[in-house]
Amino acid sequence: MKGILYLMIAVLSEVFGSTMLKLSNGFTNFIPSIGVVVGFLLAFLSLSFSLKTIPLSSAYATWSGLGTALTALIGVLLFQESFTFIKLLGLCLVILGIYLLNTSSQTLEDQQIKMSE
């Protein structure tokens, strides 16, 4: 459970850092530039803590996929970026991919446990 909490902190921190990256205007705005550094440092620190209990493939896929999807939604909501059917389809495929990776990892672990019994 702790690993999932750290992973969610990592995702949200990465989304925050990415949003600040946009607002930093090429690191010319000081406060958002500090937000980039803090956001990404917290994201990587939290991700590393999550890896103590979550397999790398599941943690990284979830972190990068959810971060990508949430960042795209932030772009649409805060920065008036376009939101097309293709973009929606892409976000759905990212989320489906995360689900498939996580369930396939769990299935493999279940099979290994059954084989060792």
Per-residue pLDDT tens digits of the chain, which is 117 residues long: 899 999 999 999 999 999 999 999 999 999 999 999 999 999 999 999 999 999 998 899 899 999 999 999 999 999 999 999 999 999 999 889 888 888 876 655 555 555 555
Q: DSSP for the chain?
A: -HHHHHHHHHHHHHHHHHHHHHHTTTTTSHHHHHHHHHHHHHHHHHHHHHTTTS-HHHHHHHHHHHHHHHHHHHHHHHH-----HHHHHHHHHHHHHHHHHHHHHHHHHHHHHHHH-
According to the model, what pLDDT value does residue 110 have? 56
According to the model, what pLDDT value does residue 88 have? 92
According to the model, what pLDDT value does residue 108 have? 54
Tell me which residue has tokens 């958002």. Answer: 32
Burial class from Cβ neighbours inside 10 Å (0-12, 13-18, 19+) for residue 33 reads middle
Q: Among candidates 103, 101, 2, 104, which has minimal Cα distance to 50?
A: 2
Could you tell me if 17 and 38 are in contact, meaning their C-beta atoms sit under 8 angstroms apart?
Answer: yes
According to the model, what pLDDT value does residue 109 have? 56
Could you tell me if 32 and 18 are in contact, meaning their C-beta atoms sit under 8 angstroms apart?
Answer: no
